[in-house]
Structure 1
Amino acid sequence: MLVILVASVVLVMITILVLYETLRLTSEHLAELPVPPRWRIIAVVLAAFAGHTVAVWVYAGAYWLLVLRLGLGAFSGVPIETFEDCLFVSVVAYSSLGYGDHAPVGHARLLTGVEALNGLLLIGWSASFTYLAMERYWPLHGKAHAHRAARSRHPADDEPGRERLVPPTAGP
């Protein structure tokens, strides 16, 4: 049990650092990207997805080592025999999806519970980061559209019902 407790703490620390560094690097280099604001927001989402993917693989490696190789805990249900099986268990636990194909037994219960809580917190963190990026870059998208629209103004644009969903922000 002590090994699983220590492993849980180490896994939480590793995954927090992975997501922290992913978001930090994304934040530092996002403004430098020579792409429109829409692609910057997409870059944020893809970076967060990559960080979560690494976290899931870290936990899958822990299941492979601790459960399959060292025998600390087990899973009932569909047999878990390969790293790919461990990866599936990790995705299900991290996302709190809980298919029910595999039920943790023994010490693996603690590890999957910690992974679910860790995943919930990290997904919330990346959602907040994505929101902040959208808050920063969404208005820029509107400004670019407003500038294009001003250059190619058409009388039909003044018809009722053709208003923008999100009005462009006022320039400086």
Structure 2
Amino acid sequence: MTIPYPEHIAMVVTTFFTVVIAVMLHYEALWLISRQIDKSRRPHRQRILGMAFGVLMTHIVEIWLFGITGWCLTDQLGIGALYGYESFNVLDFIFFSAVTYTTVGYGDIYAVGPVRFLYGTLALTGFVLITWSASFTFIEMQKHWRVGR
């Protein structure tokens, strides 16, 4: 059995911590949104719209978290790379993170090297967090939706 290269170990550890941060962020954001909806005296529409924008902003922050992590690992540390264009900037990494997070997968950009582990795990993490948000939204809508308002 061969011992993985140090960059593989660094990738697994970095991916683990990035996923933990994203999941904890998601939990805390949904908890905060739920409490705000329950405590709010604002009109119904404002509460529901606040919930929707809060959930969307949470996903955007998580996409940026993974995008910046991927950029740091590849562009700054040289652990893997993205291919598909001649040069990449940090916003290309954010775009690739969004496409992977949402499991759209256009295919115009692809990862090579150890960084593939981060992006493969990102697809699963994004899928889980999006479905978690959908369940949360459904439950909150059932609790707070008022017919005729």
Q: Answer whether TM exceeds 0.5 for this pair.
A: yes
Task: Structure 1 unaligned segments of length 5 or more: list them.
Answer: 147-172
Q: Which residue, out of 95, 101, 123, partners 1:94?
A: 101
Q: How high is the sequence identity, in percent, across the aligned residues?
A: 35
**Correspondence 1:7-156 to 2 at 5 A:** 7-138=14-145, 141-142=146-147, 145=148
Distance 2:49 2:80 in 1: 39
Per-residue CA deviations over 1:129-159 (Å, capped at 9, x if unaligned) read 0001110111xx22xx39xxxxxxxxxxxxx
AA matched with 1:2: I
AA matched with 1:96: T
| RMSD (Å), alpha carbons | 1.4
Greater Rg by CA: 1
Alpha-carbon offset, residue 76 of structure 1: 1.8
Q: Is the 8 A contact 1:80 1:86 kept in 2?
A: no
Alpha-carbon offset, residue 101 of structure 1: 1.2
AA matched with 2:109: H
AA matched with 1:127: A
SS at match of 2:39: coil
Alpha-carbon offset, residue 80 of structure 1: 4.5
Distance 1:65 1:43 in 2: 32
AA matched with 2:68: G
Alpha-carbon offset, residue 31 of structure 1: 2.1
Distance 1:37 1:134 in 2: 11
Task: Structure 2 unaligned segments of length 5 or more: list them.
Answer: 1-7
Which structure ranks higher in relative contact order (CA pairs < 8 Å, sequence separation ≥ 6)?
2
Number of positions where the alignment pairs a residue of Structure 1 with one of Structure 2 = 142
Q: Identify the residue that residue 4 of structure 2 maps to in structure 1.
A: none
AA matched with 1:75: L
SS at match of 1:31: helix
Distance 1:4 1:36, change over 3 A: same
Distance 1:3 1:73 in 2: 12
AA matched with 1:104: A
Alpha-carbon offset, residue 64 of structure 1: 1.2
